[in-house]
A and B are shown apart, each in its own frame.
Chain A
């Protein structure tokens, strides 16, 4: 089972939930930080990193001596990453999306594959039992989905050797990076807080992820703060609320010290164990629906 922990609004507690859920998980599990712009999960799980790799994207390198300035490459490129000005061929590797089109259409083979560094992938394990993967985007790099795909590819290699459940800590938002992070999952857990901003972005995220057809559940963090709009919305959309984490200073302080709530506080251990059970029931119910639909 792959669970993606997502939210529309940032700072609602995705990482808090991911760390504690991985902590209480009672089967082999790997925690994966796909918030590659601002990865934080390692600050709480404190993994021992055993391997690191640089992730790159394939971008064209021009050999101008072979170029006839036919413009086949620049006519095809949708991202303004290659251009022909008179008899000058220019590439802009930062703009490149790595589609390979320019290299494929060049009749003179004047373009060959080079690389742009996207960031770093590191992996290891936490607490001797939680597998750990993270991506860290290079500062100045604009595109995060390619690095996220590279992290997932690495993760899949190790899962082939040893099966494990996966908990993904996704980036905030509802646009392409957030969608890229939840795509590999079987189940999406939306974390929100019951405030007007929290509710507004929660609804955007629910609408963004609904077309993917994956079962979804909600966690309400800082319950007791703000108003009841999130609870009312969940009830009206039959979106199960799998856990509520109260708005209490002791929790905020534990987080500010870099603690995993489920490790530090016995009542939170119970809350997250129940959340794990709730996620499994949700997955089972959805499998049951699929079986019924196919029958």
Chain B
């Protein structure tokens, strides 16, 4: 069963609008939003949540002021500057606490508790395009990588239960922890970029990351007509980097209009950019299937 992910390096290149369109075009996918930090796909898919679960990950140190003897060892051993000596005694700043437990271990008064951290929640849902797995990390929370891994496991279970042939995921921007977590075991990565200096720079880094983890990838240039010269530059770069150039999509106001109406662009308007999206989706499914069969 192929697992396909849409990522970009740079944010705002159109990952989610494209994923929504692909979800509409795919007849039998489990849809997964792996941008757990700032998820948007649900705004278009409008899921009905069937299961809602809390996500706990890691712990945080909490000093009990009544038990604290004020020795300050906690502040000395903390490498994250999370323990401060306030007017009310020593306290841990939850924003800076890494959850490493070192202060808890060295506190002679046994004054530091170490409760589990409630980092967010995840959902199994129904949408008009099929089953959906998604989540929301709480503001400022960490361990998005672990939540991504959990969602991917749930998506595979869901695909088996419902006999769906494909897992289609919307990824996070960047190249850090959540993106790395979303790539392991993926069959094909769709890299969405734009014809700007940032778009090319970030594409090179995210393509490097795919190579590092040996994930086959293809490139879509969005709003390609904004700067045809840069679009050609990206096409040439793909040739040199041995990454397939999948499509150059024109800027089409229908994309934003569809978003405002909470629709996938292919639902909203069959012509224009949607025709090109249908063509590239067929190619992506072929590539995903090839890789999944070879594995």
- B10 contacts which of A40, A79, A196 (Cβ < 8 Å)? A40
**Bound Cα distance A76, B209 (Å):** 31
Q: Do B177 and A11 have beta carbons less than 8 Å apart?
A: no
B12/A196 in contact, CB under 8 A: no
Chain A residue contacts of B259, Cβ below 8 A: 195-197, 226
**Does any Cβ of A come within 8 Å of B71's Cβ?**
no
Asked whether A173 lies within 8 Å of B101 as measured between CB atoms, the reply is no
Known: A99-B79, A174-B37. A142 touches B173 (CB 8 A): no
Contact with A along B136-178 (1 / 0, CB 8 A): 0101111011000000000000000000000000001111110
Rounded to whole angstroms, the CA-CA distance of A13 and B260 in the bound complex is 20
3 closest cross-chain pairs (CB), A and B:
A10-B11, A11-B12, A208-B139
- Contact assessment for A9 and B105 in the assembled complex, using a CB-CB cutoff below 8 Å: no
Give per-residue flags for B184-226: 1 if the beta carbon is below 8 A from chain A beta carbons, else 0: 0000000000111110011001101100100000000001001
Q: Mark B56-83, 1 if CB is under 8 A from A, else 0.
A: 0011000000000000000001011000
Task: Kindly specify which of B92-100, B239-247, B268-276 makes contact with the partner chain.
Answer: B92-100
**CA A117 to CA B287, docked complex, whole Å:** 35
* Structural contact, A256 and B256, CB atoms closer than 8 A: no
Please measure, in the bound complex, the distance between the C-alpha atom of A79 and the C-alpha atom of B260, giving whole angstroms. Answer: 42
Assess the B59–A256 pair: CB atoms within 8 A. Answer: no
Is A161's beta carbon under 8 Å from chain B? no
Q: Please, could you name 29 A-B residue pairs with CB atoms under 8 Å apart, sorted by A?
A: A9-B11, A9-B38, A10-B12, A37-B9, A37-B173, A37-B174, A37-B176, A37-B205, A40-B197, A76-B102, A78-B59, A79-B100, A100-B102, A137-B175, A139-B205, A140-B180, A142-B145, A142-B177, A174-B139, A175-B37, A175-B144, A183-B95, A195-B259, A196-B43, A197-B40, A201-B38, A207-B139, A209-B139, A253-B227
For B256, what are the chain A residues with a Cβ–Cβ distance below 8 Å? Answer: 195, 225-226
Q: Collect the chain B residues with CB atoms within 8 Å of residue A78's CB.
A: 58-59, 99-101
Say yes or no: is B230 at the interface (Cβ < 8 Å to chain A): yes
Q: Tell me whether A124 is interfacial, beta carbon within 8 Å.
A: no
